[in-house]
Copies of this chain bind each other. A is one copy, B any other.
């Protein structure tokens, strides 16, 4: 078990699929965001509490998605999330959607923590430290 990698499982429902019989391409970004939320919760944080307490939100500034193979109705997917780096307001992640031991979709994302006015602000210190611990445990693998 890799401490630097968070795994979240989702089932593919009708709502996720399209008339081509596969998961609609935008919905992998929904799966990825669910996985990031669950990773935050597993670390003791949540977006709603962070916004209420410090007015800070973490938003996606950039993402890149490789669609390798399609997921289908009733598949159980695993979203593997790895924090690549964290620095100031910036966070780099890799997220891989897997099914049956195979990579279906690979995402790389740059996230930024922003104030209510949308300006970049440093990540809350406790979250920054918790994320940084993940990065370092990943590096020493």
Please encode chain A, from 23 to 46, with 1 for each CB lying within 8 Å of some chain B CB and 0 for all others.
011110110011001100100001
Specify which chain B residues have a CB less than 8 angstroms from the CB of A33 in the assembled complex: 13-15, 25-26
- Closest CB-CB distance, A99 to chain B, in whole Å? 13
Tally of A interface residues using CB under 8 Å: 42
A67 and B57: CB pair below 8 A?
A: no
B64 and A63: CB pair below 8 A?
A: yes
How far is A74 from B19 in the complex, measured between Cα atoms in Å?
11
A62 and B73: CB pair below 8 A?
A: no
B17 and A18: CB pair below 8 A?
A: yes
Out of B15, B25, B61, B72, name the residue touching A66 (CB < 8 Å): B61
Closest to A29 in B: B26
- Closest CB-CB distance, A34 to chain B, in whole Å? 5
Please encode chain A, from 59 to 102, with 1 for each CB lying within 8 Å of some chain B CB and 0 for all others.
11111111101101110000000000000000000000000000
Out of B11, B18, B66, name the residue touching A19 (CB < 8 Å): B18
